[in-house]
Structure 1
Amino acid sequence: MIVGRDPLELRIRGLARIGLAISIVVALLPPLGFGVIATGSLQTEMEVAGRIRAQTIGQSIAARPRLWTFEEERFDDLLRRLAQPGESLELLDPEGRTVAANQTRVLSPALEIRIPIHASGDLAAYLVVRQDTRDLIVGEAIALGLGLFLGLGLFLAMRAWPLGTLRRAIAELKAADDSKSLLLSAVGHDLRQPLQSLSLFASVISASDLAPMPRRAADMLNESLIRLGTLLDEIIAIARIDVGAIEESKDRVAIDPLLEHLVREMEVQAEAKGLRLRHVVTSAVTLSDPSLLTTIIRNLLTNAIRYTEQGGILLGCRRQGAMWQICVVDTGIGIPSDKQERVFEEFFQVGNPERDRAKGLGLGLAIVIRLARLLRHRISLRSTPGRGSVFAVSVPMIDPDPPQSVVTKQR
């Protein structure tokens, strides 16, 4: 499964493609319909008129069955009298040799039919009828112009009405979401100061000489404040991304030092659960925002440690076409296929129905997908329940050069 593109944008593009397909069908129906109907009608008319003339010619052949092929002038004159304007008639013997013709040339493309002529019950000749189809071509051209006009009008109407309505609805939703994000960002900053004060008081209490029961209560308070601080940091991060308060600042990034730094940072948490955490050395270099890319991989790694109870986690980088894939591979609980898209939603968690706060709050992957869209990096996920998951970040491949540290710009 590949994620990373805005689903609303994909929906708009899908509707646009559907509208274009319908418009093309509408544009082609008039000329195709006209061509089929007009050609069929002309062919039927030619066959009916041709059979009547074939009977007349058959009667003339029956009068002199042995000598008629030597009477070219008589049959030439007969064909000229039977021919209609813009029509060519040709009389062939049973072997296909021309015996007579009305000498009218029909320009291509022409419609041709061949009618057998019988005399005294035997095949005596063939009447070949050719009809000029220039009028049909003119009619098809007119029908094509009408179809293009209708198709273009329908396409513009579909873009102006349903797509316009959808875009307005999306704009309203985005405005509401921006207002929510601004509120969360403002509230988060206002809550950070009292939370820091509470954490300081809790630390002072924990350091005091307390009886076992009060000390346990103080330790629980400290843990709850740490989790609350983590939640607040994640909410502020999501809010800042949604309101555009974080801008990308791309530069060359050597992937191996980044992975090595994250392994050193997270190995204590992994060892506390008895997990092996390692990375495969790579010489890959990419173009990205160093700080934001580190946040993406850190969140993926944190998620892997939380949902892996035995085995280990591997960080690595592999080539895929013109891209590098930075992979986080774990031996955790895995994710069912019907829930793989939802894991990137806020507060959605797999395998945590009791909402154990030790497993986080379900915001880490929501931050990952937002930052990936900001950096135009693609996130992919492969997972098998009970066997583990592979999260991958696709980043552009560039020539290896010494990376330069760049600090993310913030408004």
Structure 2
Amino acid sequence: MVRNVYFCLQNFFCFKIRKCFDFTILVIMMRASKVNDLCHINWIQPNLNVGEIQTLNAKQQAGKPVVRLSGISKSFDGKEIIGNLNLDVNHGEFLTILGPSGCGKTTVLRMIAGFETADNGQIVLDDQDVTQVPAEQRHVNTVFQSYALFPHMTVFENVAFGLRMQKTPAAEIEPRVMDALRMVRLEKMAQRKPHQLSGGQQQRIAIARAVVNKPKVLLLDESLSALDYKLRKQMQIELKQLQRQLGITFIFVTHDQEEALSMSDRIIVMRDGVIEQDGSPREIYEEPKNLFVARFIGEINVFNATMLERIDEKRIRAEIEGVESVVYYDQEAQSGDKLQVLLRPEDLRIEEIKESEEKGIVGHVTERTYKGMTLDSVIQLESGMRVMVSEFFNEDDPDVDHSLGQKVAITWVESWEVVLNDKQEA
């Protein structure tokens, strides 16, 4: 579903900004397709030595997998954690593995890094089979949640550690370390110890240490979760900018939906060791393949529906909460089939009605929550279902000034809904 940032004026008579639960600005950015244009952060410097080769290679090899997992499985204590997983990651891509705790996402990362050995399948890194290759011989580096900085070493020594382990010529170490520190604008901190740095600075040092070796792939395991909210938001933008600057493939593991949507070129959503959906942030959010993905990525209203008849190849007529509606559904279906109609809170519009002119799905306002940019409402339908609606707030717009207990109708723009059949329920 292709949607604009604002509701169509002729349909809804007022502007409405699409928001994604608690991160309105993020989805406005997604709608405007200008996420990259907004990521101008000053701490990354142009004309870097570190990463120039990776950037060139990434452009030359765009679309070619740098990592390929084929038929990978892994069990612990007889319990299968990953089952027959297949995944390609392209050169220069920012891929996020998203899922709830225990879904296997960190296990996938550890197998790519070489910290865990796959029970079955093959891991290929840059056209080389590394399935049985030890971690220290793979051209990947990992940034951990705890950063894993050596407390007794200076910042310079921490960043230089990997170069020394690789027996890099001494004459090369200092310029490469300082290049990496300049990249994150922490060259003046070179002689400090980690405990003398803020959380964000420690994060940047961990990243500088990870990229100074010029890895093919950088793995990040929940690496922002230890930061406070404001710093985490800042680091999300900075990490994406860094990845674009260097051209290194990033594989990022998180359970945070906002991080995944704001940073990724592509997201895979996992559950119980299986990939539920693989797609762009917009595809994952706007076109979920099943209820698990829809519910995991933000708030969603799920209406039970029954198909009445097919109108054309793309549209059907269905009964939703006792009301006949036209919805987009191009899959095979027969009259009487049970369906689910999915709508995000920001897809819905509340309209005032009079007793004599009921239209749409009718209910009563039971809750109103002011959130600054948006006004969230809970509408209780006659069936007992509670529907969440999120509207762009304008104090001069009477159309969003509804009172508790008021009888209202819920409407939406045709084609904004996602329709699933019973087999896609999860």
What TM-score comes out, normalization by structure 1 length? 0.19
Instruction: State the structure with more CA Rg.
Output: 1
Higher strand share: 2
What TM-score comes out, normalization by structure 2 length? 0.18
Higher helix share: 1
